[in-house]
Amino acid sequence: MIAHPGMDVIPSTVTAIAVHAWQQHTGPFEAHADILTGTSTAGAFVLAAASFAAATVYGSTAEFMVTARHKFHRELSRNWMSILGWVFVATIAPLIAMFLPQEWSITTVSACLMILTVKFARSMFWFRYTLTLDVASEQTPRVRVLRPASDLERHIQSGS
């Protein structure tokens, strides 16, 4: 699931369809603009948190994290593009939905909240992954011991 961030859209799609079908029986929601504005605000907070987590992932100088970024560049790039892109869409969509008929507000909100929840969980996974690798890198003794330049020079001259 971590390697396929596109799968994160499935829960929001299922939720939106279910809520829209349910709303056909109950009627439109009254606090149309309030709920849409609140969802957009929540999206802005998730976008800020995800941006911080991405900066932590890409800014870590721990040896294990640097290796992970080089080895899994494509997966990390795909995940962060998905996280930041979909969170941005889920933040803007409620504002655009203010121009739609009122019965679409709860459907939009439910889909956006589900996207925000899943993408927030994904960004926290990567944040925790980075912190774990930082600690592991710090606590692991180095395999290679750096030799002083004078010792290396003697080693080369002796031919061994």
Contact of 121 with 48, CB cutoff 8 Å:
no
Rounded-to-integer distance, Cα 98 and Cα 93, Å: 9
Write the pLDDT tens digit of every residue in 15-74. 777 777 777 667 666 667 888 999 999 999 999 999 999 999 999 988 889 999 999 999
Asked if pLDDT for residue 143 goes beyond 70, the answer is: no
pLDDT at 6 over 80: no
| Least confident residue range of 6-10, 63-67, 155-159 | 155-159
Rounded Cα gap, residues 123 and 131, in angstroms? 12
Tell whether the model's pLDDT for residue 85 goes beyond 90: yes
